[in-house]
Amino acid sequence: MASYEYVSPEQLAGFDKYKYSAVDTNPLSLYVMHPFWNTVVKVFPTWLAPNLITFSGFLLVVFNFLLMAYFDPDFYASAPGHKHVPDWVWIVVGILNFMAYTLDGVDGKQARRTNSSTPLGELFDHGLDSWSCVYFVVTVYSIFGRGSSGVSVFVLYLLLWVVLFSFILSHWEKYNTGILFLPWGYDISQVTISFVYIVTAVVGVEAWYEPFLFNFLYRDLFTAMIIGCALCVTLPMSLLNFFSMDPPVTFRYFRVTP
Protein backbone atom coordinates (compact mmCIF):
# COMPACT_ATOMS: atom_id res chain seq x y z
CA MET A 1 0.00 0.00 0.00
CA ALA A 2 2.89 2.36 0.73
CA SER A 3 4.12 2.15 -2.88
CA TYR A 4 0.67 2.57 -4.41
CA GLU A 5 0.27 5.73 -6.48
CA TYR A 6 -3.08 7.29 -5.63
CA VAL A 7 -2.45 10.18 -8.00
CA SER A 8 -0.70 9.62 -11.32
CA PRO A 9 1.96 12.00 -12.68
CA GLU A 10 -0.51 13.12 -15.38
CA GLN A 11 -3.08 13.99 -12.71
CA LEU A 12 -0.49 15.87 -10.66
CA ALA A 13 0.46 17.89 -13.74
CA GLY A 14 -3.17 18.88 -14.11
CA PHE A 15 -3.09 20.68 -10.76
CA ASP A 16 -1.16 23.55 -12.34
CA LYS A 17 -3.91 24.09 -14.91
CA TYR A 18 -6.84 23.57 -12.56
CA LYS A 19 -9.30 26.41 -12.01
CA TYR A 20 -12.26 26.29 -9.67
CA SER A 21 -15.55 26.51 -11.53
CA ALA A 22 -18.95 26.51 -9.85
CA VAL A 23 -22.49 27.51 -10.75
CA ASP A 24 -25.05 28.49 -8.12
CA THR A 25 -28.61 29.09 -9.36
CA ASN A 26 -30.43 28.82 -6.06
CA PRO A 27 -32.45 32.04 -5.49
CA LEU A 28 -31.86 31.75 -1.74
CA SER A 29 -28.12 31.77 -2.33
CA LEU A 30 -28.08 34.40 -5.05
CA TYR A 31 -30.32 37.00 -3.43
CA VAL A 32 -29.92 36.35 0.30
CA MET A 33 -26.90 34.31 1.33
CA HIS A 34 -24.24 35.52 -1.11
CA PRO A 35 -24.87 39.22 -0.32
CA PHE A 36 -24.73 38.28 3.37
CA TRP A 37 -21.50 36.31 2.92
CA ASN A 38 -19.94 39.13 0.88
CA THR A 39 -20.51 41.38 3.89
CA VAL A 40 -19.25 38.86 6.45
CA VAL A 41 -16.02 38.05 4.61
CA LYS A 42 -14.95 41.70 4.84
CA VAL A 43 -14.81 41.29 8.63
CA PHE A 44 -12.00 38.74 8.35
CA PRO A 45 -8.43 40.05 8.12
CA THR A 46 -6.63 39.25 4.87
CA TRP A 47 -3.97 37.27 6.74
CA LEU A 48 -6.57 34.72 7.92
CA ALA A 49 -6.11 31.49 5.98
CA PRO A 50 -9.24 30.23 4.15
CA ASN A 51 -8.49 26.67 5.32
CA LEU A 52 -8.67 27.87 8.92
CA ILE A 53 -12.14 29.25 8.25
CA THR A 54 -13.11 25.93 6.67
CA PHE A 55 -11.78 23.94 9.61
CA SER A 56 -13.44 26.25 12.15
CA GLY A 57 -16.83 25.68 10.52
CA PHE A 58 -16.27 21.93 10.59
CA LEU A 59 -15.37 22.06 14.28
CA LEU A 60 -18.68 23.81 15.00
CA VAL A 61 -20.53 20.96 13.28
CA VAL A 62 -18.58 18.40 15.33
CA PHE A 63 -19.23 20.37 18.53
CA ASN A 64 -22.98 20.34 17.82
CA PHE A 65 -22.81 16.58 17.33
CA LEU A 66 -20.91 16.05 20.60
CA LEU A 67 -23.20 18.42 22.52
CA MET A 68 -26.29 16.60 21.33
CA ALA A 69 -24.64 13.23 21.98
CA TYR A 70 -24.13 14.29 25.60
CA PHE A 71 -27.75 15.27 26.17
CA ASP A 72 -29.27 12.62 23.87
CA PRO A 73 -26.88 9.64 23.76
CA ASP A 74 -29.51 7.04 22.86
CA PHE A 75 -31.81 9.27 20.73
CA TYR A 76 -34.72 8.86 23.15
CA ALA A 77 -34.59 12.37 24.65
CA SER A 78 -37.34 13.66 22.33
CA ALA A 79 -39.62 10.67 22.92
CA PRO A 80 -42.69 10.97 25.19
CA GLY A 81 -41.98 10.13 28.82
CA HIS A 82 -38.23 10.80 28.59
CA LYS A 83 -36.12 13.69 29.87
CA HIS A 84 -35.91 16.19 27.04
CA VAL A 85 -32.91 18.14 25.81
CA PRO A 86 -32.78 21.57 27.56
CA ASP A 87 -34.15 24.46 25.51
CA TRP A 88 -30.87 26.37 25.63
CA VAL A 89 -29.12 23.49 23.88
CA TRP A 90 -31.43 23.79 20.87
CA ILE A 91 -30.69 27.52 20.69
CA VAL A 92 -26.93 26.96 20.86
CA VAL A 93 -27.07 24.22 18.22
CA GLY A 94 -29.22 26.37 15.94
CA ILE A 95 -26.89 29.36 16.16
CA LEU A 96 -23.73 27.28 15.73
CA ASN A 97 -25.24 25.40 12.79
CA PHE A 98 -25.92 28.68 11.01
CA MET A 99 -22.43 29.93 11.89
CA ALA A 100 -20.89 26.76 10.44
CA TYR A 101 -22.98 27.22 7.29
CA THR A 102 -21.82 30.83 7.05
CA LEU A 103 -18.14 29.89 7.43
CA ASP A 104 -18.60 27.26 4.74
CA GLY A 105 -19.97 29.99 2.50
CA VAL A 106 -17.21 32.55 3.09
CA ASP A 107 -14.09 30.37 3.04
CA GLY A 108 -14.01 30.32 -0.74
CA LYS A 109 -14.66 34.05 -0.90
CA GLN A 110 -11.76 34.61 1.48
CA ALA A 111 -9.54 32.46 -0.76
CA ARG A 112 -10.44 34.48 -3.85
CA ARG A 113 -10.20 37.73 -1.89
CA THR A 114 -6.63 36.93 -0.81
CA ASN A 115 -5.67 35.25 -4.10
CA SER A 116 -4.95 31.98 -2.29
CA SER A 117 -7.31 29.57 -4.05
CA THR A 118 -5.72 26.15 -4.58
CA PRO A 119 -6.94 22.66 -5.58
CA LEU A 120 -5.76 21.44 -2.18
CA GLY A 121 -7.98 24.01 -0.45
CA GLU A 122 -10.98 22.80 -2.41
CA LEU A 123 -10.14 19.19 -1.59
CA PHE A 124 -9.81 20.09 2.09
CA ASP A 125 -13.14 21.96 2.05
CA HIS A 126 -15.13 19.24 0.32
CA GLY A 127 -13.38 16.49 2.24
CA LEU A 128 -14.61 17.99 5.51
CA ASP A 129 -18.05 18.50 3.94
CA SER A 130 -18.24 14.76 3.32
CA TRP A 131 -17.73 14.14 7.05
CA SER A 132 -20.22 16.87 7.95
CA CYS A 133 -22.92 14.99 6.06
CA VAL A 134 -22.90 12.37 8.82
CA TYR A 135 -22.62 14.73 11.79
CA PHE A 136 -25.31 17.03 10.45
CA VAL A 137 -27.93 14.32 9.83
CA VAL A 138 -27.32 12.55 13.14
CA THR A 139 -27.60 15.84 15.06
CA VAL A 140 -30.88 16.70 13.31
CA TYR A 141 -32.15 13.23 14.16
CA SER A 142 -32.33 14.20 17.84
CA ILE A 143 -35.23 16.57 17.06
CA PHE A 144 -37.46 13.55 16.50
CA GLY A 145 -35.39 10.74 17.96
CA ARG A 146 -36.60 7.21 18.44
CA GLY A 147 -39.74 5.91 20.07
CA SER A 148 -43.39 6.03 19.06
CA SER A 149 -43.18 9.64 17.86
CA GLY A 150 -39.77 9.38 16.25
CA VAL A 151 -37.88 7.86 13.34
CA SER A 152 -36.44 4.36 13.42
CA VAL A 153 -32.67 3.87 13.38
CA PHE A 154 -33.03 1.97 10.11
CA VAL A 155 -34.65 5.01 8.50
CA LEU A 156 -31.83 7.17 9.88
CA TYR A 157 -29.35 4.81 8.22
CA LEU A 158 -31.17 5.16 4.91
CA LEU A 159 -31.29 8.96 5.24
CA LEU A 160 -27.54 9.04 5.83
CA TRP A 161 -27.02 7.19 2.57
CA VAL A 162 -29.42 9.49 0.74
CA VAL A 163 -27.49 12.56 1.91
CA LEU A 164 -24.14 10.97 1.05
CA PHE A 165 -25.55 9.95 -2.33
CA SER A 166 -26.46 13.57 -3.05
CA PHE A 167 -22.99 14.72 -2.01
CA ILE A 168 -21.21 12.11 -4.13
CA LEU A 169 -23.51 12.77 -7.07
CA SER A 170 -22.67 16.47 -7.18
CA HIS A 171 -18.95 15.67 -7.26
CA TRP A 172 -19.42 12.94 -9.87
CA GLU A 173 -21.17 15.64 -11.88
CA LYS A 174 -18.23 18.00 -11.47
CA TYR A 175 -15.72 15.32 -12.35
CA ASN A 176 -17.43 14.78 -15.69
CA THR A 177 -18.48 18.33 -16.54
CA GLY A 178 -15.67 20.34 -14.97
CA ILE A 179 -18.25 22.49 -13.20
CA LEU A 180 -19.58 22.15 -9.66
CA PHE A 181 -23.31 22.79 -9.87
CA LEU A 182 -24.12 23.66 -6.28
CA PRO A 183 -27.21 21.70 -5.14
CA TRP A 184 -30.25 23.70 -4.09
CA GLY A 185 -30.98 21.34 -1.23
CA TYR A 186 -27.87 22.28 0.73
CA ASP A 187 -28.69 25.95 1.30
CA ILE A 188 -32.38 25.30 1.87
CA SER A 189 -31.70 22.53 4.38
CA GLN A 190 -29.12 24.51 6.36
CA VAL A 191 -31.32 27.58 6.76
CA THR A 192 -34.41 25.48 7.49
CA ILE A 193 -32.77 23.26 10.09
CA SER A 194 -31.13 26.21 11.86
CA PHE A 195 -34.60 27.74 12.11
CA VAL A 196 -36.18 24.46 13.27
CA TYR A 197 -33.62 24.16 16.09
CA ILE A 198 -34.65 27.59 17.41
CA VAL A 199 -38.35 26.80 17.00
CA THR A 200 -37.86 23.57 18.96
CA ALA A 201 -36.43 25.58 21.85
CA VAL A 202 -39.53 27.82 21.81
CA VAL A 203 -42.35 25.32 21.32
CA GLY A 204 -40.71 22.17 22.73
CA VAL A 205 -40.27 18.78 21.11
CA GLU A 206 -43.88 17.95 21.97
CA ALA A 207 -44.98 20.18 19.10
CA TRP A 208 -43.49 17.71 16.64
CA TYR A 209 -45.72 14.93 17.99
CA GLU A 210 -48.76 16.49 16.33
CA PRO A 211 -49.75 15.66 12.73
CA PHE A 212 -48.58 18.11 10.11
CA LEU A 213 -51.52 17.41 7.81
CA PHE A 214 -54.23 14.82 8.45
CA ASN A 215 -52.23 11.78 9.71
CA PHE A 216 -48.98 12.97 8.12
CA LEU A 217 -46.55 13.58 11.00
CA TYR A 218 -43.65 16.03 11.07
CA ARG A 219 -41.24 13.10 11.19
CA ASP A 220 -42.73 11.91 7.90
CA LEU A 221 -42.31 15.41 6.46
CA PHE A 222 -38.67 15.39 7.58
CA THR A 223 -38.06 12.05 5.86
CA ALA A 224 -39.97 12.98 2.72
CA MET A 225 -38.09 16.27 2.32
CA ILE A 226 -34.66 14.61 2.42
CA ILE A 227 -35.56 11.77 0.07
CA GLY A 228 -37.68 13.98 -2.21
CA CYS A 229 -34.96 16.61 -2.53
CA ALA A 230 -32.40 13.95 -3.52
CA LEU A 231 -34.58 12.06 -6.00
CA CYS A 232 -36.70 14.89 -7.41
CA VAL A 233 -34.20 17.76 -7.46
CA THR A 234 -30.55 16.71 -7.07
CA LEU A 235 -30.60 13.59 -9.25
CA PRO A 236 -32.60 15.04 -12.19
CA MET A 237 -30.53 18.25 -12.20
CA SER A 238 -27.26 16.31 -12.13
CA LEU A 239 -28.32 14.12 -15.05
CA LEU A 240 -29.56 17.15 -16.97
CA ASN A 241 -26.25 18.95 -16.47
CA PHE A 242 -24.31 15.82 -17.41
CA PHE A 243 -26.15 15.17 -20.68
CA SER A 244 -26.20 18.87 -21.57
CA MET A 245 -22.42 19.01 -21.85
CA ASP A 246 -20.38 18.51 -25.01
CA PRO A 247 -20.66 15.01 -26.54
CA PRO A 248 -17.13 13.84 -25.53
CA VAL A 249 -18.20 13.84 -21.88
CA THR A 250 -20.95 11.27 -22.42
CA PHE A 251 -19.13 9.38 -25.17
CA ARG A 252 -16.37 8.26 -22.86
CA TYR A 253 -19.03 6.67 -20.66
CA PHE A 254 -21.27 5.07 -23.25
CA ARG A 255 -18.69 4.78 -26.04
CA VAL A 256 -20.99 6.20 -28.68
CA THR A 257 -19.28 7.05 -31.92
CA PRO A 258 -19.92 10.68 -32.97
Residues catalogued as catalytic? 126
C-alpha 24: how far from chain center: 15
Give the C-alpha separation, 18 to 12, whole Å.
10
Q: H or E element: which one contains 180?
A: strand 180-181
C-alpha dihedral, 169 to 175 to 176 to 181, nearest 10°: 60
Angle, in degrees to the nearest 10, between helices 247-254 and 235-243: 100
- CA-nearest of 183, 204, 24, 224 to 109 is 24
DSSP state of 30: I
H helix runs in the chain, sequence order: 9-14, 27-28, 34-40, 50-71, 87-113, 119-144, 153-177, 184-203, 218-229, 235-243, 247-254
Q: 221, exposed or middle or buried, with CB in 10 Å at 0-12, 13-18, 19+?
A: middle
